[in-house]
Amino acid sequence: MSAPTVEAPRRVLAWRPGPVALAGAIAVALVIAGELLSPGFAGYGQLVNLMRVAAFLGVIAIGQTIVIIAGGGGVDLSVGKVATFAAIIGSRVMAGDDAGIVPAVALALLVSAGIGLVNGLCVTLLRIPPFVMTLGMIGVVQGLILAYTGGQASGRAAPALTSLVNGRVVGDLPGLLFLWLLLGLLAVWLLRRTTFGWNLFAVGANRTAAELTGVRVNRTLIVAYVLSATFAGLGGILLLGYTESVFLDLADQYMLPSVAAVVIGGTLLAGGIGGYAGTAVGAIVLTVLQGLLTTLDIGGAGRTVVNGIVLLVLLSLYGRQRRLRS
């Protein structure tokens, strides 16, 4: 009885590459497939552009990674709406003027963090399941957006923000990519080299054990939700720099892809295992897939279907749960 239970997972692990490497291989395979199907897909400019689009999902998914690692069914469905709200606040406060950037970004991130704080407090103190709490928060943030804008978004991105996001900085690469790299390193450092990061993994792996070893579980969770909303807000601001003007559902569609990127990157939805490097690659995979489907001439409906099927295939490569029998 005990021999197969011990051996089976080991044998699986022996030949299976790490999730990050696997996700990276998939990304490369998708790019090669794109080049074969439509020559020019793997061109330098095109790839840089794809990476730039991936950066928004990548930044928003930083927070999602943190919340999911915290475990206990942790997930933040409100990231898309929070990003939208941050972009709306940012554009209205900066109003196309460089002088307004600092107060605009500060206010947008502060509001985002506040939303995250409410999420965290309700999840920890009121024990509302994270899924439904952040789901309910979508409605509230949508309400805040309508109340703040009166149904009409206004303002513009400041030129400095736009040039930071779109402008070429080094080697013809847009500044956004360096920013993403910086934020990614920050996320990895936060998760791997800080007390908060260690506490987070401990809470995600076994909440009771973490509590018994003296980890302040609730505080760690609240910080996780605050960080999630803050990174979402940051993603929204960056997206604003890209689009220059806002609309009321600017970043809404990032909600579930951010979760998918985390899962494709090898972070367990159950919590306690994972990291940001995988998520970043996951974001790239999803974006390359989108780009590939856009270049194929199969129409919007067919594209949606193929997108779903490919997503399923990607997930089944390693997003699988363990067998009951083991």
Partner 1 sequence: MNVPARLRDLRWAGVQLSGVATVAMLVVAVAVNTALQPNFWGGYALTSNFATFVPLVAIAIGQTVVVLSGGLDLSLGAQVTLASVVAVQVVDGRLDRLPLAAAAALGVGMACGALNGLVVALLRLQPIVATFATSFVFSGLALVVLPTPGGSVPIEVTTAYRDSVLGVPVALLAIVGLALLWRVLRGHRVLRHVYAVGGDAEAAYASLVPVTRTRVWAYVLGGLFAALSALAVLANTGSGDPFVGNELTLASVAAVVLGGTALAGGRGGAGGSILGAMVLALVTNIVFFADVPTTYRQLVNGAVIILALALAGIPALQKRRPAA
Residue with smaller CB distance to partner 1, 145 or 239: 145
CB closer to partner 1 out of 52 and 134: 134
Smallest distance, partner 1 to C-beta of residue 140, A: 4
Buried b (16+ CB within 10 A) or exposed e, 265-292: bbbbeebbebbbbbbbbbbbbbbbbbbb
* 121 to 13, 79, 128, 137, 207: CA distances (angstroms): 38, 16, 9, 12, 17
Give least dist CB 116 to partner 1, A: 14
> Closest distance between partner 1 and the C-beta of residue 76, in Å?
12
Helix (H, G, I), strand (E, B) or coil at 173: strand
Q: Is the CB of 36 or the CB of 305 nearer to partner 1?
A: 305
- Minimum CB separation of residue 172 from partner 1 in Å reads 34
> Closer to partner 1 at the Cβ: 234 or 261?
261
Distance in Å, CB of 185 to partner 1, minimum: 26
The smaller minimum CB distance to partner 1, of residues 58 and 72, is found at 72
Taking CA atoms, 142 is separated from 78, 204, 247, in Å, by 10, 30, 12
DSSP run (H or E) holding 169: strand 168-170
DSSP 264-280: HTT--TTSSS--HHHHH
Contact between 84 and 238 under an 8 Å Cβ cutoff? The reply is: no
- By CB under 8 A, name the binding residues for partner 1: 72-73, 75, 77, 122, 126-129, 131-133, 135-144, 146-147, 150-151, 207, 256, 259-260, 263, 269, 300-309, 311-312, 315-316, 319-325
